[in-house]
């Protein structure tokens, strides 16, 4: 939950309450075992156990309220998270016994968590699903963008929005796909706001000339009703930028897309420090990977390929070779599912991301950053830039070893995938910060451990 993103109050509330609950369960378990004084005197142990439990909850998606929205899902994920936390704390305690409060406290704490957290979640869900606590939203427009944004709003559980209905152009034919959800015409906003107790208006009109009820929207705004465009709502609830019907003026005048010199300097300092440290710590793994690649198939251990970097300038990217030497002849090709060009060792190092260790050298050289849009080959960049609006804007920052699109979306191998990843890349560029980078790095570790995204 990077602080630069628009975090939902629900998610913050859940995280805050559960932090307190975990602390209380540890103290309660200490009281049961007669070790409350020891727990209070060694408060850092309680903080450590709480941190490990919360980290485990995060890695098990318990703070993605859209994913975890049923009682059974909550119970299953709490059990998985508690088990993982128990193993981590037990292993740490075996290495450093001073980390543990007393015998039995950890087990009792985890048993209490299995009761307390699901009970609290069920109570919270029963409260947050009450329609009386949701913000009533009216969508001005009935086009494809309006319908898509409405679907995204209704699909998520992080923000308390309820789509009440839509308004249409008086001269347009009724949209049968919306059924009875069209409440009236755009020029009837005043009456519709009062009749349906509207609290937020989302404007989604492809052509606003002569159809946008400016005076009524202005009056609604001055009356305290939130008024925003579809792109802003979509960005908030999805964590990506809406490209459909996106106007250049939105990119120019919206907040974000600005990084201070201090942030740029700090980001570069972290890149150099982490890349240098990573190369040293990963040296044994890199050596074993190089030997495995050499023994598995003929050809060089390292693979060099031209990629488009900052401002589209080409650079040479380094990876451990994961495909056959004759994998590509002539026209460049995207990687495919179950690609038969990938070697046995290549499939493993791609899944574990070991093939990307040499890219730390690219980070040291300044070709790349640790976090940023994935660098693409110039051949594909030329193709995609012709077909996808704003595609070249992703080159306004250094490409990254990992990035927001990589942790949020699968490996891209088509025009449609490139469009979806661009939505995430533009969101990252708009909100980039050191805090956001750290959150993406944490997500990357989770992605590697579960083996998502590699081909």
What's the predicted TM-score (pTM) here? 0.86
Distances (CA, A) of 377 to 392, 414, 427, 455: 13, 14, 21, 17
* Residue in the block written with tokens 């560029």: 429
* Residue in the block written with tokens 């008086």: 170
What is the C-alpha to C-alpha distance for residues 97 and 94, in angstroms, rounded to an integer?
A: 6
Rounded to 5 degrees, φ, ψ at 135 are -85, 125
> What's the pLDDT at 263?
92
C-alpha dihedral sign at 136, 141, 147, 152:
negative
Q: What is the DSSP letter of 401?
A: E
pLDDT single digits (tens) 182-228: 999 888 999 999 999 999 999 998 766 557 888 999 999 999 999 99
> What's the pLDDT at 66?
81
For the cut 90, the answer to whether the pLDDT of residue 448 exceeds it is: no
Q: Is 131 exposed, middle or buried (0-12, 13-18, 19+ CB in 10 A)?
A: exposed
> What's the pLDDT at 359?
97
pLDDT single digits (tens) 234-254: 999 999 999 987 888 888 888
The mean pLDDT of the chain is: 88
Picking from 238, 13, 226, 8, the residue whose alpha carbon sits closest to that of residue 136 is 226
| pLDDT tier for residue 2 given thresholds of 50, 70 and 90 | very low
pLDDT single digits (tens) 333-358: 777 666 778 899 999 998 889 999 99
pLDDT single digits (tens) 122-171: 888 777 777 778 899 999 998 889 999 999 999 988 888 999 999 988 76
Count of CA atoms in the C-beta half-sphere (13 A) of 436: 22
pLDDT single digits (tens) 108-128: 988 898 889 889 988 887 777
Return the minimum-mean-pLDDT range out of 195-199, 243-247, 420-424, 449-453: 449-453
> What's the pLDDT at 1?
40
pLDDT > 70 in the chain, percent: 93
pLDDT single digits (tens) 271-304: 999 999 999 999 999 999 999 999 999 989 999 9
């Amino acid at each position: 939950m990077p602080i630069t993103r628009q975090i939902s109050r629900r998610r913050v509330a859940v995280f805050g309450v559960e932090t307190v609950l975990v602390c209380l369960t540890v103290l309660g378990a200490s009281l049961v075992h007669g070790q409350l004084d020891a727990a209070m005197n060694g408060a850092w142990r309680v903080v450590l156990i709480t941190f490990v439990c919360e980290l485990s909850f995060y890695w098990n998606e318990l703070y993605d309220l859209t994913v975890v929205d049923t009682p059974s899902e909550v119970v299953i994920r709490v059990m998985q998270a508690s088990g993982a936390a128990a193993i981590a704390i037990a292993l740490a305690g075996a290495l450093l016994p001073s980390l543990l409060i007393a015998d039995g406290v950890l087990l009792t704490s985890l048993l209490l968590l299995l009761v307390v957290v699901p009970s609290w979640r069920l109570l919270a869900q029963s409260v947050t699903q009450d329609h009386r606590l949701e913000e009533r939203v009216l969508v001005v427009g009935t086009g494809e963008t309006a319908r898509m944004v409405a679907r995204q709003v209704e699909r998520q559980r992080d923000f308390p929005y309820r789509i009440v209905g839509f308004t249409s152009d008086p001269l347009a034919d009724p949209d049968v796909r919306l059924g009875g959800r069209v409440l009236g015409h755009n020029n009837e906003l005043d009456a519709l706001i009062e009749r349906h107790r509207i609290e937020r208006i989302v404007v989604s009109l492809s052509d606003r000339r002569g159809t946008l009820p400016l005076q009524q929207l202005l009056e609604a705004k001055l009356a305290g009703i939130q008024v925003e465009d579809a792109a802003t709502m979509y960005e908030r609830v999805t964590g990506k930028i809406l490209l459909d019907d996106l106007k250049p003026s939105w990119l120019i005048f919206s907040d974000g897309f600005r990084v201070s010199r201090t942030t740029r300097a700090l980001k570069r300092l972290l890149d150099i420090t982490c890349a240098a440290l990573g190369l040293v710590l990963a040296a044994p793994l890199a050596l074993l990977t190089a030997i495995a690649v050499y023994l598995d198939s003929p050809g060089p251990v390292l693979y060099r390929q031209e990629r488009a970097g900052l401002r589209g300038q080409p650079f040479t990217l380094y990876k451990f070779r994961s495909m056959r030497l004759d994998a590509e002849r002539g026209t460049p090709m995207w990687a495919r599912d179950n690609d038969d060009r990938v070697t046995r060792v290549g499939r493993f190092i791609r899944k574990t991301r070991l093939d990307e260790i040499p890219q730390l050298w690219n980070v040291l050289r300044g070709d790349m950053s640790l976090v940023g849009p994935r660098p693409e080959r110039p051949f594909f960049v030329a193709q995609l830039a012709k077909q996808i609006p704003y595609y070249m804007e992703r080159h306004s920052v250094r490409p990254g070893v990992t990035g927001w699109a990589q942790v949020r979306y699968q490996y891209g191998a088509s025009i449609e995938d490139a469009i979806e990843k661009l939505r995430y890349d533009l969101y990252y560029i708009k909100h980039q910060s050191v805090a956001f980078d750290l959150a993406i790095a944490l997500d990357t570790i989770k992605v590697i451990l579960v083996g998502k995204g590699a081909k």
